[in-house]
């Protein structure tokens, strides 16, 4: 939809709910790697490259 447009067209949206993610073992020290794991799960479901895989393919 173009910026400033006031018309919204209906469409079908597919939503996939993934399994719950426990955060019991998350700490300040491992927070970044845990966030990357969650992001990679989402990217995998979207059929996109995972962060680590993309970084390895660029080197």
Q: What is the pLDDT at residue 6?
A: 84
Q: Which among 56, 49, 51, 46 has a CA at the least distance from the CA of 34?
A: 51
DSSP code string of 39-50: HHHHHHHTT---
pLDDT of residue 23: 96
| Ordered per-residue pLDDT tens for the chain, 59 residues | 667 778 888 999 999 999 999 999 999 999 999 999 999 999 989 888 776 655 555 45
pLDDT at position 56: 55
> According to the model, what pLDDT value does residue 57 have?
54
Which pTM value belongs to this model? Answer: 0.62
Neighbours of 40 (CB within 10 A): 17
């Amino acid at each position: 939809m173009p910026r400033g447009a006031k018309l919204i067209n209906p469409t079908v949206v597919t939503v996939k709910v993934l399994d719950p993610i426990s955060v019991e073992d998350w700490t300040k020290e491992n927070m970044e790697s845990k966030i990357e794991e969650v992001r990679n799960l989402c990217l995998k479901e979207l059929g996109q490259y995972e962060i680590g895989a993309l970084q390895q393919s660029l080197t």
